[in-house]
């Protein structure tokens, strides 16, 4: 089955710093989503981005489907950005989503 890997696994930033999170996937996909899991466990939809580039405030994402990767950019990080970031891909021909291993982000004040 399709493999989804995220890097880095852990990231510590000072407030105000920028960061790039990466999601690599091993096969063609129909969907790709980025989620933020907050300390209470809630999964917050950040982007639905099977291809192209999107921006929402301080966050932006780019997916290059032909090269099988997606990037999530966080600019001017805030302590509330702390948590775990997951990418999830929808395997072609199915309704299943496969989650990546996650990047645990901690933003220090």
φ, ψ at 44 (rounded to 5°)? -100, 125
Q: Which of 63, 41, 35, 60 is nearest to 50 (CA)?
A: 63
> Minimum CB separation from another protein for residue 95, in Å?
5
The residue count for binding another protein (CB under 8 A) is: 22
Binding mask 30-69 for another protein (x = CB under 8 A): xx-x-x----xxxx-x--x-x-------------------
Report d(CA 42, CA 17) in Å as an integer: 24
Q: Is 96 in the site for another protein (CB under 8 A)?
A: yes
Residue 109: exposed, middle, or buried by beta-carbon count in 10 A (0-12, 13-18, 19+)? exposed
24 or 75: whose CB is closer to another protein? 24
31 or 60: whose CB is closer to another protein? 31
Window 3 to 22, contacts with another protein (CB under 8 A): none
24 or 101: whose CB is closer to another protein? 101
- Is-contact 27 91, C-beta < 8 A? yes
- Is-contact 64 70, C-beta < 8 A? yes
Query: Can you give the binding site for another protein, defined by CB under 8 A?
Result: 30-31, 33, 35, 40-43, 45, 48, 50, 86, 88, 90, 95-102
């Amino acid at each position: 089955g399709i493999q989804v890997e995220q890097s880095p696994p852990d990231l510590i930033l000072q407030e105000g710093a920028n960061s790039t999170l990466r999601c690599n996937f091993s096969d063609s996909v129909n969907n790709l989503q980025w989620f933020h899991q907050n300390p209470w466990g809630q999964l917050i939809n950040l982007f639905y981005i099977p291809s192209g580039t999107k921006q929402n405030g301080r966050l932006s994402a780019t997916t290059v489907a032909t090269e099988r990767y997606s990037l999530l950019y966080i600019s001017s990080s805030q302590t509330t950005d702390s948590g775990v970031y997951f990418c999830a891909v929808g395997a072609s021909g199915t309704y299943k989503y496969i989650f990546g291993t996650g990047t645990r982000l901690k933003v220090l004040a």
